[in-house]
Amino acid sequence: MNSALFPELVVNGETVPHTEIAAETQNQEAPAGKPGIAWRKAANAVAIRTLLLQEARRQKIEADPHEVEPGRFETDEEALIRGLLETEVDVKSPTDDEIKAEWARDPARFRSAPLWEVSHILCACDPRDEEGREKALKKAQFLTATLLAKPSIFASLAKKESDCGSKEAGGSLGQLRPGDSVPEFEQVLFDLEQGQITAEPVLSRHGYHIVRMDALAEGQELPFEAAKRSIMLAMEKAAWTRAAQAYVQKLIEGAEISGADFKPI
């Protein structure tokens, strides 16, 4: 390990193992061929996590892991950090006048959810299986090219080739709203026009999809009273994020840290 490029991280006298920073680098974006940037970002993130854990333990906060999604709970460290931030970060709810002023800046931003009528053909695979993924991709690319050349055969091709139970309905998934499908699949729906077929196969946890937007009902602009709650929640979240960042910055300024550099990258 090059100590000049990857210096030792020490936070308030606590030395952080290089392995912990190395593990964090996979969560950090950096230009190809520039491992130093990924390492620096990872060192900063780990330094902040270490600071928060030190403070949580100093305040004798007890870990109470919450369920973050069905069957998955926070780690003790995640629970400690959440507990600390819940104790130290407090923001006031925006007033009605503040919420209305935010809405009035651009009412067109606040719309009801769109409604999509969608069909697809699934080439199933486990994305973690490289060989199976490559095989499914080749099949999906062939089907996509076929459909782009002759869109009218979508339903018959779905019945013959799709690995989804919707094949019996010609690939139709019926009407969907945001949140009804997995995020990887849903993301492309926002960009499709009525009648359009995806130009490239879409990879999700289930495999590769060829997607067709059968019908599209755009969300309608919401009046203030209908949008009020979502605006309030968004304003509270933004205020909490700013307050949490300020709290972390205060911890950094009061700490002794070497091996991390919090200047903008």
Please write the tens of the pLDDT for every residue from 208-263. Answer: 999 999 999 988 889 999 999 999 999 999 999 999 999 999 999 999 999 998 88
Q: Is 179 a residue whose pLDDT tops 80?
A: yes
pLDDT tens readout for residues 50-65: 999 999 999 999 999 9
Q: Helix, strand, coil: what percent of the chain each, to 5?
A: 50, 15, 35
Model confidence over 187-216: pLDDT tens digits?
A: 999 999 999 999 999 999 999 999 999 999
Q: For the segment 133-159, what is each residue's pLDDT rounded down to a tens digit? A: 999 999 999 999 999 999 999 999 999
pLDDT given for residue 1 in this prediction:
47
pLDDT of residue 30: 78
Tell how far CA 198 is from the center of its chain: 22
Place of tokens 């109470």: 64
The pLDDT value given to residue 188? 95
The CATH-assigned architecture of domain 115-217 is Roll (3.10)
Nearest one of 110, 126, 118, 127 to 186, comparing CA atoms: 118
Dump pLDDT digits (tens) for 223-232: 999 999 999 9
Checking 33-38 for CB contacts under 8 A at 24+ apart, the result is 35/5, 36/5, 36/6, 37/265
Range 61-84 average pLDDT? 92
Q: Is the pLDDT of residue 5 over 70?
A: no
> What pLDDT, on a 0 to 100 scale, did the predictor assign at position 265?
66
Q: Write a three-state SS string for the chain.
A: CCCCCCCCEEECCEEECHHHHHHHHCCCCCCCCCHHHHHHHHHHHHHHHHHHHHHHHHCCCCCCCCEEECCEECCHHHHHHHHHHHHHCCCCCCCHHHHHHHHHHCHHHCECCCEEEEEEEEEECCCCCHHHHHHHHHHHHHHHHHHHHCHHHHHHHHHHHCCCHHHHHCCEEEEECCCCCCHHHHHHHCCCCCCCECCCCEEECCEEEEEEEEEEECCCECCHHHHHHHHHHHHHHHHHHHHHHHHHHHHHHCCCEECCCCCCC
Confidence of residue 31 (pLDDT cuts 50, 70, 90): confident
Structure confidence at residue 137 (pLDDT): 96
Domain boundaries, the chain: 9-91+232-258, 115-217
Least confident of 5-19, 22-36, 48-62, 81-95: 22-36
Give SS3 for 193: coil
- pTM of model > 0.75: no
- SS3 call for 191: coil
What pLDDT digit, counting tens, does each position of 87-113 carry? 999 999 999 999 999 999 999 889 888
Q: Is the pLDDT of residue 36 over 70?
A: yes
More confidently predicted of 119 and 127: 119
